Amino acid sequence: MKPKVHCQVQPRATVLRDAKVQEEIKNFLEAVDSYPARAAKEPDVTFQQHLCSIFGSGDDRRRNRPKPSLG
């Protein structure tokens, strides 16, 4: 008799959450990498503003749109 194989299946919500977390990590690392260049062009921009612009607009950050003021 063959032994039964038990597969662990993650619930869909967990898979979707994991994908979202991976995307957030990717965005954060992109923000860390791209901040020095943006700060050189826009000395008044904070890292938090830069990070929010990446999270808020996805790849739109490459269009160099004016960013809304935080405050």
pLDDT tens-place string over residues 18-52: 999 999 899 899 999 999 999 999 999 999 999 89
Q: Which residue, chain included where needed, has tokens 């503003």?
A: 49
User: Nearest-CA neighbor of 30 among 70, 67, 69, 57?
Assistant: 57
Return d(Cα 13, Cα 1) in angstroms, integer: 36
Q: How far is CA 1 from the centre of its chain?
A: 49
pTM of the model: 0.56
Residue 47 and residue 35 in contact, taking contact as beta carbons nearer than 8 Å: yes
Distance between CA atoms of residues 28 and 31, nearest Å: 5
Per the structure block, which two tokens stand in for 54?
């990446």
